[in-house]
Amino acid sequence: MKCIRCGKCCSRAEVLLSSEDITRIESLGYDKKEFTVRSGPFVKLRKVDGYCYFFDPYEKTCEIYPYRPLSCRLYPVIYVLGKGPSVDQRCPMAYTVSKAELTRKGRMLEQHLSKIFKKARRIYLASLQK
């Protein structure tokens, strides 16, 4: 899929971050507190004025593109609760995503989210022990 730099993906719903996503972004010199927000046991990408922390509204580009979170790399494939992997129809290029790409990226997204949810579960259970 070819990105047309419309910025819709950078204003979409919440982006859950994995430990690997955070480490990759921190390697650029960013402090985790700058670009993350905690939501219960989850860590999400911070938004500023409705857009991702790393979105440049003038250039309509991602400031950390080569290091962006996996969920961003897999877009416009998203995970819809109760439905599973799906193509975000808000993306103007959604029609270019093939069934094979949806399947491949969908599997990757499910694995990614599974790791995030397992870690969140451990954090939640540990908080009950306190």
* pLDDT recorded at residue 124: 80
Q: Which residue has the tokens 């939640």?
A: 124
Distance of alpha carbon 22 from alpha carbon 25, whole angstroms: 5
* pLDDT recorded at residue 46: 96
Buried b / exposed e over 16-48, threshold 16 CB at 10 Å, is bbbeebbebbeeeebeeeebbeeeebbbbbeee
* pLDDT recorded at residue 29: 97
Q: Is the peptide bond before 76 cis (omega within 30 degrees of 0)?
A: yes
Q: Which residue has the tokens 């416009």?
A: 76
List the structure tokens of 53: 């922390």
What pLDDT digit, counting tens, does each position of 105-124 carry? Answer: 999 999 999 999 999 888 88
What pLDDT digit, counting tens, does each position of 32-76 carry? Answer: 999 999 988 899 999 999 999 999 989 989 999 999 999 999 999
Distance of alpha carbon 71 from alpha carbon 17, whole angstroms: 8
Please tell me the pTM assigned to this model.
0.86
What is the pLDDT averaged over residues 8-25? 90
Q: Which residue has the tokens 């047309």?
A: 4
* pLDDT recorded at residue 120: 86
pLDDT category at 3 given cuts 50, 70, 90 is confident
* pLDDT recorded at residue 84: 92
How much of the chain, in percent, has pLDDT values that exceed 70?
Answer: 98
Going by C-beta distance under 8 Å and a sequence separation of 6 or more, which residues neighbour residue 93? 1, 2, 3, 4, 76
